[in-house]
């Protein structure tokens, strides 16, 4: 276990599985005290147990960050633990595959709420603490879909593009207080969220589920493989470290060459 983040308090949303779990475990391995957030209590508690069993420090707090009062509760609880919040990882995400003409307003509001309103709310409530301590790192998990678009993912693409704008404003407002903000834009990662898309992608593209990985998930990439959560987590840990203090207001792609063309 390293200690480059020793003594820092990190909040990770959407940490019951996949990328969020990898972030929580990696940050804890570097000495951070991690507050694990998710609406999935069983998964969140499992991440807590895994992190503790590996020698890290972590606690689970259930919150739906698309709701103002719950986002505030998450931040207040996190601050109460150690009197500071050093790192905020806005990772919570959901997915829905559907043409615009069939995309329900309910699903639209759900996705925008979790992936764009949620990061705004957690940032809004964490900002005063970071300003007071004159330090903060905010990492918003966007996607290659925040840089380019795909069919049948209107709300997801809109939210991920919006996250990039939110990140830029956060970086400009935070700079005078030594608060940085970065968007991380991964291509497809081997997570449950990616796996859940396969059937919908196959349906609307009119191809088999076996072809989805080859044509949709890997087709545009130069390197033909899915990212592993640990690869993205290593980048996030670096962006939270002192070595990355000058990286702010930008999108950092880890996309296997997806956006090179």
Can you tell me the distance from the alpha carbon of 186 to that of 140, in angstroms, rounded to the nearest whole number? Answer: 11
Of the residues 156, 188, 204, 238, only one is catalytic, namely: 156
* Partners of 139 in beta bridges: 89, 182
Q: Could you tell me which residues come within 8 angstroms of residue 233 by beta carbon, excluding any fewer than 6 positions away?
A: 19, 22, 23, 25, 26
Q: Is 33 an annotated catalytic residue?
A: no
Name which of 165, 90, 87 is nearest 122 in CA terms: 90
Distances (CA, A) of 247 to 19, 109, 241, 242: 21, 32, 11, 10
Q: Are 249 and 172 in contact (CB under 8 A)?
A: yes
- What is 42-62 written as a DSSP string? HHHHHHHHHHHHTT-EEEEEE
32 is written with which tokens?
């951070």
Q: Report, as residue numbers or ranges, the catalytic residues.
A: 156
């Amino acid at each position: 276990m390293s200690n480059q983040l020793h003594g820092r308090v990190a909040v990770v949303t959407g940490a019951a599985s996949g990328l969020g779990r990898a972030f929580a475990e990696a940050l804890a391995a570097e000495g951070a005290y991690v507050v694990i957030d998710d609406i999935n209590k069983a998964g969140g508690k499992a991440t807590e147990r895994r992190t503790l069993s590996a020698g890290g420090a972590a606690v689970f707090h259930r919150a739906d960050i698309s709701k103002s009062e719950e986002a505030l509760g998450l931040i207040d609880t996190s601050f109460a633990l150690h009197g500071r919040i050093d790192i905020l990882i806005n990772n919570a995400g959901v997915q829905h595959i559907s043409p615009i003409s069939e995309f329900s307003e309910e699903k639209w509001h759900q996705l925008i709420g979790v992936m764009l309103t949620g990061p705004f709310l957690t940032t809004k409530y964490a900002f005063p603490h970071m300003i007071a301590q004159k330090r903060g790192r905010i990492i918003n998990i966007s996607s290659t879909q925040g840089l380019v678009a795909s069919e049948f993912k209107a709300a997801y693409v809109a939210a991920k593009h919006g996250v990039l704008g939110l990140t830029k404003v956060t970086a400009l407002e935070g700079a005078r207080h030594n608060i940085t903000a970065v968007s991380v834009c991964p291509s497809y990662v081997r997570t449950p969220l990616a796996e859940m898309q396969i059937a919908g992608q196959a349906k609307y593209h009119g191809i088999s589920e076996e072809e989805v990985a080859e044509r949709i998930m890997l087709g545009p990439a130069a390197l033909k493989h899915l990212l592993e959560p640990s690869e993205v987590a290593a980048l996030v840990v670096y962006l939270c470290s002192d070595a990355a203090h000058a990286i702010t207001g930008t999108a950092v792609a880890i996309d296997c060459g997806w956006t090179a063309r």
